[in-house]
């Protein structure tokens, strides 16, 4: 029987750092959206992050891949892991709180576990995982508000956009493990963001024209954070954890992101979340704890 992927102490530590970094990205993106459009925010994010990472690749003298299939894999990864989720989530944040966005983003973990089980023998969907997935689905439904399944409005559409982004993230995790694991994380991250930039820059130019840099200082700081720290640096950790723990376990980081984003949204933006959102998050957290399995093993021991 194939050994199952698990999270080591080192992987958990790096996921915690990744969660702290990504938790701040929801706040910084929301600040930038006060002055620039969702498409422009994504263009800034992937372009500056790409340039930073290629600088790292050059300094480390990492050889570039010559196989065209690898560059095609970079392009697909940029679409799945950057363009689709970044655009959907940035648009969604115009209509819902950053804290709620982070809760819905935690749905990535549920979808990621299912996707990984479908494609990898060492990330099987066991009965314990099925229970966790079911709780995760219910937690997201409660966080959205069960009434929204009957009353479809702009707010629920924004929430569905964020969930669409989480599905793209989960599919990207599978794609990355099948096509990019084994190469240096610096190269994998730079290549992915190159693919995203190749898509985003022409798209933004034809829809909105040339980007402007006459922005408020707070907007420039926000762009700097989510491009350099929450994208360039974060994806170096992303590919490291992917190699250690697998795509399904990696997606569990989104549970850890939510409390950070909720706290920052409340402290900095004065956002308030409904009781349903917090209850849904607790249910989702319980589902993901069951998915991880460590608590269950401890109780059985």
Rg (CA), the chain: 19
**CA nearest neighbour of 77 among 164, 198, 158:** 198
What's the pLDDT score for residue 61?
A: 94
pLDDT per position as a tens digit, 127-176: 877 787 778 777 777 776 666 555 555 567 888 888 899 899 889 988 98
pLDDT of 182 reads: 83
Q: What is the pTM of this model?
A: 0.80
pLDDT of residue 200: 94
Torsion, Cα of 16, 17, 18, 22 (10° steps): 100
Q: Is residue 45 within 8 Å of residue 196, measured between CB atoms?
A: no
The predicted pLDDT at position 300 comes to 64
Residue ranges for the chain with pLDDT beneath 70: 1-7, 98-99, 144-155, 269, 271, 273, 291-301
Q: Over the stretch 263-287, which tens digit does the pLDDT of each residue have?
A: 777 777 676 767 777 788 888 778 7
- Distance, in Å, from the CA atom of 153 to the CA atom of 290, rounded to the nearest integer, reads 33
Share of the chain above pLDDT 90, in %: 34
């Amino acid at each position: 029987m194939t050994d199952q992927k698990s999270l080591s102490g080192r992987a958990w530590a790096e996921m915690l750092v990744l969660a702290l970094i990504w938790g701040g990205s929801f706040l910084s993106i929301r600040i930038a959206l006060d002055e620039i459009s969702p498409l422009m925010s994504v263009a800034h994010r992937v372009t500056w992050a790409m340039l930073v990472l290629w600088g790292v690749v050059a300094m480390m003298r990492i050889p570039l891949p010559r196989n065209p299939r690898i560059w095609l894999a970079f392009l697909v990864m940029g679409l799945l892991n950057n363009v689709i989720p970044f655009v959907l989530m940035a648009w969604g944040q115009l209509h819902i709180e950053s804290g709620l966005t982070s809760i819905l983003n935690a749905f990535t973990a549920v979808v990621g576990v299912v996707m990984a089980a479908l494609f990898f023998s060492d990330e099987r969907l066991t009965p314990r995982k099925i229970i966790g997935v079911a709780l995760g689905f219910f937690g997201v439904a409660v966080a959205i508000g069960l009434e929204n399944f009957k009353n479809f409005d702009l707010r629920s559409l924004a929430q569905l956009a964020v969930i669409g982004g989480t599905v793209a993230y989960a599919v990207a995790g599978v794609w990355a493990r099948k096509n990019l694991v084994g190469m240096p994380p610096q190269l994998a991250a730079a290549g992915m963001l190159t693919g995203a930039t190749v898509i985003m820059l022409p798209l933004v130019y034809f829809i909105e024209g040339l980007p402007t840099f006459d922005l408020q200082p707070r907007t420039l700081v926000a762009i700097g954070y989510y491009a350099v720290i929450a994208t360039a640096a974060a994806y170096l950790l992303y590919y490291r954890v992917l190699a250690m723990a697998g795509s399904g376990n990696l997606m569990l980081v989104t549970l850890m992101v939510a409390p950070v984003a909720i706290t920052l949204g409340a402290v900095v933006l004065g956002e308030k979340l409904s009781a349903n959102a917090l209850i849904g998050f607790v249910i989702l957290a319980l589902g993901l704890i069951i998915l991880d399995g460590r608590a269950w093993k401890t109780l059985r021991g």
